[in-house]
A and B are shown apart, each in its own frame.
Chain A
């Protein structure tokens, strides 16, 4: 029997994301109706791939309640008393049950490693959340600056030292209180060990990427299952290997307009992957960041509207070698996209050479 600590450690963000890997590969077909029902209702307990979490692994050939399609329909419909399997016939209609039974039937024999083990460490029950390529995890949180300089952050204000105040005395006392390094508006996304990134919703800019891990949230969430403050600065710790850290002023120039004021408007999920949406001045951007084939590679598929005269990117000379584009004219650190190219282009950011 699985011990309790392992059970707790095995908890993944049960995340029935639309479960399709988005990478720099060919488009993946949309999920089957049964798969959609499965990730919505069943993945909570059986894991997104059916390999089991708190519910049993459905991909092996060990049948607890019968292995025919008919048995599966019955188990789904009627549930299993005393085992936490609800009678889904009160929730799902017959067609949905049939579809998800097809999906479950097709899982038999895949023999995926138990989700209990596969999910270890990828949990929001522990302070070590983590996504995967199949199931990216988005976390909006305070973030560390990772050395990103003030020139990248012109739309933030500067937190300053303030006179030290004594809550006990109700007056200022000698000394001052300094701010700590941190960013308020981070959107952190994990694709597992291959890629993680931090996009900033105030500057509407990809700030940094890394690979090999995600975030240690202990200082913000507390240790273990949380509940206790662990520190004073509440800034998560980046785990893994830095791949890219931006610097320099906003690289985007909008020909004919001096206004590149950022305005974050939200994000959409494209097959489970966040597509970040924002304006720079009058131009609307949508940026879908996915992992490349090598660790730390970020594929940034960008579409815009309103860039009637195209766009010009002035990359920081030190970063220029890390960034390529599939379109436009490149002249050293300057990328020029005409209106057609600016409508849809892809920047590929490779890890810094070591």
Chain B
């Protein structure tokens, strides 16, 4: 995660602002804060649902609670499935109400309630094949692979913490160096763990990959956090054996280690040549400061008009984001945009849809990265469709946009309503990067569909390796006068349409 402090005053101000729904707008997504017994600090590391409809909440400082959600957010009938404090629960898979899979700093654990009394009685180690240096930052997260096994994203350590005299796993003095570092095996890697617990390193080059998900089509996605060798927070499409840019993990790559090279001293151009670029990048500050768990909206429209798209939480921001993905010339890329920006607290770490699909729960923890924000909130689609850009897609000569409601055709056809620019981020030892080589782009010919639900915008000067930022003017309203709620989009161009 990003080492970013959210000033308490700023968070409070943001919260006050956020509580207000845009003036004159019918609320499309209703945000509520769920109450816990005051005996619980809900530092949430995992969320899930049982097939019976009980919400499962796994926490760092309590254990695991379950409750069937009630209409009243203050009346969830919480029961404790486990009150053992595992080592910083980071991920959760609900197999059944009597069997959970939990990843924590030190192991992947199968927790079962053998006698069916509602209380866990067995905690069996599935896998603990990665090292532990003693650094607080070495978190991980999991996604079921669909075949009884798991994908695991394993984060690096931070120079803001130490390592211990006794490490689990081989210690690498070379890997110990760096802003974020990989002193023990498989920090900065994505791994596969099969149903029997066999661990296979899968892809490398990660910094703080705090989100992992398998899409409906089986593609594996990982979010990572901006910092050293991460100019902006990325979303990666994971492919076996690929390298994703953070060099520290290379100390555990046998072929690289055999060269005797110091990964931190590799020329930037060499790292750039090796790396698989992000499918989407989230610029820091205005877009997202710390992306976490991605989740695909597979609710078939019960959560609003964005079915099939990815939603991502922001740990360091009071917001959720939406991601529109597409394959261009065999490579995944796409755009990000704000999704829910009112009523939320920061710390949006883990996401889960309710069984009826109408509600998205966001489990929050900031855990030392800023002002405390340990909480659970839920976001429910009210049935009122918001006015938003629904999709953004690359064309040979520019972009195609669709809207959730008919757009005012006059404003949408006005090129001065489409502010466009392109830039990229540098990936170096420095923490993050300002936008580099920023250039304004001009909207050319604009064609708005007769029904107002789509538009194409010709853009000259598109190039690969650039983010195209689109800022729609406030004059672009819906035909019924609604303001565009989130008018700023960032599209990552990895390939141009052939």
Contacts and interface: CB of A to CB of B under 8 A. Distances in A.
B164 A14 contact: no
Given A88-B77, A157-B169, A234-B136, A13 B63 contact: yes
A96 B133 CA distance: 47
Contacts of B70: 86
B85 A141 contact: yes
A14 B80 contact: yes
Contact of A167 (B122, B128, B166, B179): B179
Interface stretch (B17-25, B365-373, B446-454, B457-465): B365-373
Contacts, number: 244
A255 B130 CA distance: 32
B122 A158 contact: no
B166 A156 contact: yes
Interface string B103-136: 0101101100000011111111100100011111
Interface string A82-108: 001010101100000000000000000
A13 B83 CA distance: 7
B40 interface: yes
Contact of A265 (B125, B136, B370): B125
Contacts of A7: 38
B314 interface: no
Contacts of A220: 136
B173 A160 contact: yes
Nearest to A126: B41
Contacts of A232: 160-162
A140 B85 contact: yes
A246 to B, nearest CB: 14
A11 to B, nearest CB: 4
Interface stretch (A176-184, A311-319, A320-328): A176-184
A14 B84 CA distance: 11
Interface in A133-179: 137-142, 145, 150, 153, 156-165, 167, 169-172, 177, 179
A351 interface: no
A125 B79 CA distance: 17
Contacts of B191: none
Interface residues of B, number: 79
Nearest to B372: A227
A290 interface: no
Interface in B3-49: 37-41, 43
A8 B39 CA distance: 7
A142 B157 CA distance: 15
Contact of B428 (A123, A170, A269): A170
Name the residue among A14, A45, A139, A182 with the largest chain B CB count within 10 angstroms.
A14
Nearest to B262: A172
A329 interface: no
B170 interface: yes
A51 to B, nearest CB: 14
A162 B164 contact: no
Contact of B173 (A163, A171, A234): A163
B170 to A, nearest CB: 5
Contacts of A129: 85
B399 interface: no
Interface in A28-48: 36, 39-41, 43-45
B39 A140 contact: no
Contacts of B86: 140
Contacts of B132: 184-185
A124 interface: yes
Contact of A125 (B39, B85, B133): B39
Given A160-B173, A184-B132, A17 B83 contact: yes
Contacts of A202: 168
Interface string A230-260: 0011100000000000000000000000000
B167 A159 contact: yes
B177 interface: yes
B192 interface: no
Interface string B121-153: 111110010001111100000000000000000
A182 B165 CA distance: 6
A266 B124 contact: yes
A15 interface: yes
A40 B429 contact: no
Interface in A248-285: 264-269, 274
A226 to B, nearest CB: 6
B374 A226 contact: yes
A43 B179 CA distance: 45
Interface string B429-455: 111000000000000000000000000
A85 to B, nearest CB: 9
Given A158-B171, A159-B166, A185 B183 contact: no
Given A18-B119, A84-B75, A125 B166 contact: no
A145 B37 contact: no
Interface string A111-131: 000000000000111000100
Contact of B39 (A13, A17, A142, A226): A13
A160 B184 CA distance: 12
B68 interface: yes
A306 interface: no
B401 interface: no
Contacts of B395: none
Contact of A268 (B87, B121, B167, B181): B121
A11 B107 CA distance: 28
B39 A229 contact: no
28 contacts: A11-B40, A13-B63, A14-B40, A14-B62, A16-B83, A18-B117, A18-B119, A44-B39, A125-B38, A139-B85, A157-B168, A158-B165, A159-B163, A162-B176, A163-B173, A170-B428, A179-B165, A180-B134, A181-B164, A182-B165, A185-B132, A227-B367, A227-B372, A227-B373, A232-B162, A234-B162, A267-B123, A268-B123
Please provide the 6 A-B residue pairs with the shortest distance between their CB atoms, ordered closest to farther.
A227-B372, A170-B429, A15-B83, A162-B176, A167-B179, A182-B164
Given A179-B164, A183-B134, A264-B128, 8 more contacts: A14-B40, A16-B119, A40-B118, A124-B61, A160-B171, A222-B368, A227-B373, A229-B160
Interface of A: 7-8, 11-18, 36, 39-41, 43-45, 53-54, 84, 86, 88, 90-91, 123-125, 129, 137-142, 145, 150, 153, 156-165, 167, 169-172, 177, 179-185, 201-202, 220-222, 225-229, 232-234, 264-269, 274
